[in-house]
Amino acid sequence: MNDVPTDDEEPDEVDDAYRRASALDSSGPSDLARRRILNHAAQLAAERGAENAAAGISRRGAASQSWRRPAIFGTLAAAALAGLLITPRFFEPQVSVTAATSDARVARPSAAMPAAPTDQSEGRPLGMPANEQPQSPRAAEQGVPEPQAFARNAAPSTNSAAQLAAKNAPARAPSMAGARSSVEAGVSATAGDRVNAEASRVQAMSGARSAAPPAAPAGLFGPAAELRRAAETGDIAKLQMLLDKPPHVEKPNGGDQRGGVDKQSLVEVRDAGGRTALMLATLQGQDRAVDVLLAHGADPNAADAHGATPMQVAMAAGRESIAAALQRAGAR
């Protein structure tokens, strides 16, 4: 490094001279090059802007749903599994459209209890127990016989459903397929309710209800079942009517106590899955129904057969308003 010149002089003199010369040099890139550069950059920016916007939406969606999906799925699976395990003790075997895709959809034939016709043949809601019937407000208005009447006059059913149920019976062991089909059953029950309730309405209006109603044990229809359906479907008028003037009370053992007005008992009666009207309303996100039920003394901590409480269901499903209402009512 001995041959390196020393910096005795100010190096800025050279730099300044160079800069002054450069400042006076008006040469530059061609207009074509400049246009190409700026156009290319603008095009890339536009593409990036679109990509970022799409990625942002995707991220937001994933972030907001990342915990909800498994929670909802788990809750539905738990509820459906509970129903699956308990339902056969009380009800007839049933066949739904989902049976075709699920070998674990259980239907146990019973010699003592006549089997009901299939869901579709009777217009009964899919996934609904064979001895429950949808009660439409319009049907009630038009004087369609109440389900109890059908139950009392139930005709012997055919064996076709029993045979079909027996065919499907072996797959009772809990499994992934079973859990999956349970969820399917839970999901299809909701949609099926609406479809078949509408079918019942049409039947009632046309007076075509000549076929024998499904067989059902006494006591499984009535105000409590109607209350649960009203809660589940958000039929506030019906809910209010039943709670304000309960016509009779179902006993948990299946018997009816006609004439007894016991609102508290009415709201506490559970379905086969141990779900109260409040739980069903929570599952379906019926905010107003939840409020009405709580106002009429529904127990906010009544767990279903699987041990799930309405609060847990509301939290898992992200139903914040319902969770808040439950909390106000003392839910834990």
Partner 1 sequence: MTVDGESDETLMVRYGRGDAAAFGLLYRRHEMRVWRYLERNVDNRATADELMQEVWFAVARDAPRYEPAARFTTWLFTIAHNRMIDSVRTNRRHASLETLGYEADAVLGQLTADPRAGPLGAAVARDQAGALMRALEKLPREQREAFLLQVEGDLSVEEVASITDSSFETVKSRLRYARAKLREFLKEHA
Contacts with partner 1 by CB under 8 A lie at: 1, 4-7, 9, 11, 13-22, 24-30, 32-34, 36-38, 40-42, 44-52
Minimum Å gap between C-beta 18 and partner 1 is 6
Is 52 or 264 the residue whose CB approaches partner 1 more closely?
A: 52
Distance CA 69, CA 65 (A): 6
Closest CB 54 distance from partner 1, rounded Å: 11
If the CB atoms of residues 4 and 112 are measured against partner 1, the closer one turns out to be 4
| End-to-end CA, the chain | 82
- Cβ at position 48, least distance to partner 1 in Å: 4
The minimum distance between CB 60 and partner 1, in angstroms, equals 16
> Residue 258, SS3?
strand
The least CB distance from residue 2 to partner 1, in Å, is 11
Q: Classify residue 216 by burial, with Cβ atoms within 10 Å: 0-12, 13-18, 19+.
A: buried
Indicate the DSSP class of residue 116.
P
- Closer to partner 1 by Cβ: residue 24 or 100: 24
57's enclosing H/E stretch is: helix 31-65
| Residue 119, CA distances (Å) to 86, 135, 217, 273 in order | 19, 15, 17, 19
**Smaller CB separation from partner 1, 34 or 152:** 34
Closest CA to 148 of 233, 219, 246: 219
- Which lies closer to partner 1 via its Cβ, residue 42 or residue 324? 42
Token digits for 79? 């509820």
